[in-house]
Amino acid sequence: LNLLINNAGVLAGPFALSQDNIELQFATNHIGHFLLTNLLLETMKKTSQESNAEGRVVNVSSWGHHFAYREGICFEKINNESEYNTIQAYGQSKLANILHANELARRLKEEGVQITANSLHPGAIVTNIARHHSILNVFSNLGKFFVKNVAQGAATTCYAALHPQVKGISGEYFVDSNKAKASSLAQDAELGRKLWDFSTSLTDPKQLGCSA
């Protein structure tokens, strides 16, 4: 296993909890990716070592990470329905994608593993992801004349995952197949470490009600 692209996503839905009692956007857009990556990472390390080929983890984030809550990640209020905002909750989850990739990149580099981790904004793409939000859905339908189709929207993801020019590059954020600058919160290493610890606690088998 050389390549992992984390691209599950929901956008601006009404407040809901996942089966594991985690706010649904955060659970789907970040926690699921975090857990899947951790479950597959040892296999990726083994593949990289045996094949002497670079492994790549790619998190599909969004420019929407700029809409995160002021503090970035509301660790103590993840499941607080009274303070839930559909767009800010989405922004929070997309910010988490970038922070996760950056912290993973740091850890892999420190470990000396030949695996990179990057994040990206695919662009505004015509999909049904905005179906839960009436205003966004209207703009999405109008935007069919201005935004990318699915093939164009996949270009940056494919670039980060497969292009030789990205070899050895890790902990970066890409837009239109180029390195780009994410928000200041997305570049906060301490916030990334805190998110890692928080996500680890949420994916602990005991926390999820799983028996050993």
Phi and psi (nearest 5°) for 115? -135, 135
Is 84 a known active-site residue?
A: yes
Local structure of 207: helix, strand or coil: coil
Local structure of 121: helix, strand or coil: strand
Residue of 69, 84, 90, 159 marked catalytic = 84
Phi and psi (nearest 5°) for 196? -60, -50
Contact 58, 120 (CB under 8 A): yes
The alpha carbon dihedral of 178, 182, 186, 189 has a sign of: positive
Assign 3-class secondary structure to 2-68.
CEEEECCCCCCCCCCECCCCCEHHHHHHHHHHHHHHHHHHHHHHHHHHHHCCCEEEEEECCHHHHHC
Side by side, which strands form the sheet with 3-6?
A: 3-6, 55-60, 115-121, 173-175, 178-180
Number of C-beta neighbours around residue 23 at 10 A: 22
194's tokens: 């805190």
Residues forming the active site: 84
